[in-house]
Amino acid sequence: MSANGKPRSIISTDTFACVRCGLTVAAHAPDGARRNHCPSCLHSLHVLDRVEGGPSECRSRMNPISIAVLRTGDWMIIHRCSRCGELTSNPICGDDNQLILMRMAVRPLAQPPFPLEAFGDL
């Protein structure tokens, strides 16, 4: 509710510029949730401190490093801060770049530390 008692409009005109690709992004996703990463390059900004809680002083770029699948089947992006190494996980958004999501998902299988041929015999 806003100050004058009327319900706040769903439509928001807030935008932010992505720290990596410079794309101007609407701050709210189509489903109304607030975005925490660029839908084009999936990079984020380190503004929340997970260990201590509250805002972070770091404010540097967070790179997407992997995809995690929860038990519910939802995909999460794991971000790592390029300056302090902090890890965060954020749910993916409906308009996220799906080719980058897939590239992150298949990257471990492209560089396996053990031969995958043996799994064909199992």
Partner 1 sequence: MPRKNPGRVRPQQPKAVQRGERGDAFRCVGCRLDVPMDAPGTAHRNHCPHCLTSLHVDHRIPGDRRAGCRGPMAALSVTVRPDGEWLIIHHCQACGGLSANRIAGDDNALALLRIAVRPLSDSRLPVNALLAL
Closest by CA to 62, choosing from 39, 78, 40, is: 78
23 or 102, CB closer to partner 1?
Answer: 102
5 or 120, CB closer to partner 1?
Answer: 120
Helix (H), strand (E) counts: the chain: 1, 6
Residues 79-118 that bind partner 1 (CB under 8 A): 80, 87-89, 98-99, 101-102, 105-116, 118
**Which amino acid is present at 93?**
C
Out of 26, 29, 61, 66, the only residue in the binding site for partner 1 (CB under 8 A) is 66
Closest by CA to 21, choosing from 47, 39, 46, is: 39
Question: Taking CB under 8 A as the rule, does residue 48 contact partner 1?
Answer: no
Q: Is 46 exposed, middle or buried (0-12, 13-18, 19+ CB in 10 A)?
A: buried
The residues binding partner 1 (CB under 8 A) are: 50-51, 65-69, 73, 75, 78, 80, 87-89, 98-99, 101-102, 105-116, 118-119, 122
